[in-house]
Amino acid sequence: MTYRDHRYRSACGRLELAARDYPAGDPAAPVLLMMHGLTRNSADFEPLAAHLAGRYRLIVPDQRGRGLSEWDPDPAQYRPDVYAQDMLALLDGLGIARAGLIGTSMGGLMAMVMQAMRPGLASAVVFNDIGPELDPAGLARIQGYVGPSGAMADWAEAAARCRAINAMAFPDYGGAEWMAFARRTCRENADGTISFAYDPAISSSVEGDDPQTVPLDMWPVWELLDATPVLVVRGELSDLLSAGTERMMAQRHSGPYASVEVPRTGHAPMLDEPVALAAVEAFCKDYVT
C-alpha cells in the first residue's frame, strides 16, 4: 500500500500542510477524504486505508498542527471552521469537486461544517463516534489529557503512555496493539526521545465550558445534512457520543441513514473492527460516488 506525499498551502496561505494521497486502480474511482481527530494525524487511518486502498482514491490529511503539517503560530486558528477551509483548499488544489467524507471525532465535526460551507460537496458522510451534541463526560476526559507533556524516553514508554490515556476505549488491546497505536500517534525527535505528533497549543482550543474545537451544540449544522447519506459508527463504550444522541441523529435525518455499534470499544473506533469495517465498506459501495 503506497501513497504520494502531497504538500499544499493552507486556506489562509500561511502554512504548508501535508496529506497522503493513495491512488485508486481506476483513475475515475470515487474519492474518500478521511479526517482524523483532535490529537491524531493521517496515520490514524492506516488500518482502514489498508482495506479500502485501490477501490477508492484516498486523501488523508494531517490537519494544521499535526503530523507533518506546520504548526500554527496563532492557536486561535485551531478550530473546525478553519480546518474545514483547509480541506476545501486541499480538494480544490487536487481538482476534486465531490468526495465521500469519513470523519473521526473532530473530523466528523469538520465534515458537518464543510457540507454547510459547500452544499453538495459530500456524496456521503461516515461519522466515527461523533455527533452534533457531545457528552460532557467525554469532553472533560479530553480536556484532561490534551496539551503539553514531557517527552518519552523510548517507544516502550510511548506505548505505555498511549495505553494510560486510551485503555478505557480499547480494553482488549495487548502490547502489540498499543505499540502500533503509539507508532501512529507519536513521532521520534532528533535526540531519540518520543513526543506526541501534535502542537501542544491545540489544548487552548478545548479549554473552558464552550470550547472552540468541540462546540457543544451543532444540531443546526446537522440538519443541513438532511438529504446526505450518513453512516454513524459508535463505540459501545463511548463517552463522547451517547446512544441517546445517536438515536436523535437518526430521528432528525430524513435521507439514507445507517448506524452500527462497535462492541467493547470506546472513543473512537479504528474502523478496522469487523463490524465497523463491514458497515463502512457496504455504505461506501452504495453511496460514495
Confidence of residue 149 (pLDDT cuts 50, 70, 90): confident
**DSSP per-residue string spanning the chain:** ---EEEEEE-TTSS-EEEEEEEPBSSTT--EEEEE--TT--GGGGHHHHHHHBBTBEEEEEEPTTBTTSPPPS-GGG-SHHHHHHHHHHHHHHTT---EEEEEETHHHHHHHHHHHHSTT-EEEEEEES--SB--HHHHHHHHHH-S--PPBSSHHHHHHHHHHHHTTT-TT--HHHHHHHHHHHEEE-TTS-EEESB-GGGGGGG-SSS-SSS-SB-HHHHGGGTTS-EEEEEETT-SSS-HHHHHHHHHT--S-EEEEEETT--S---S-SHHHHHHHHHHHHHH--
Question: Does the pLDDT at position 78 exceed 70?
Answer: yes
Reported as a single tens digit per residue, the pLDDT across 102-116 is 999 999 999 999 999
Q: What is the pLDDT of residue 3?
A: 97
Tell me, which fold does domain 4-136+216-287 have in CATH? Rossmann fold (3.40.50)
Confidence of residue 45 (pLDDT cuts 50, 70, 90): very high
Q: What is the pLDDT of residue 213?
A: 60
Confidence of residue 202 (pLDDT cuts 50, 70, 90): very high
pTM for the full predicted model: 0.96
Q: Mean pLDDT across the chain, nearest whole number? A: 94
Q: What is the pLDDT of residue 206?
A: 75
Average pLDDT over residues 160-166: 95
Looking at per-residue confidence, does 216 or 255 come out higher? 255
Percent of the chain residues past pLDDT 70, beyond the cut: 96
Average pLDDT over residues 246-269: 97
Q: What is the pLDDT of residue 208?
A: 65
Question: Does the pLDDT at position 86 exceed 70?
Answer: yes
Confidence of residue 215 (pLDDT cuts 50, 70, 90): low
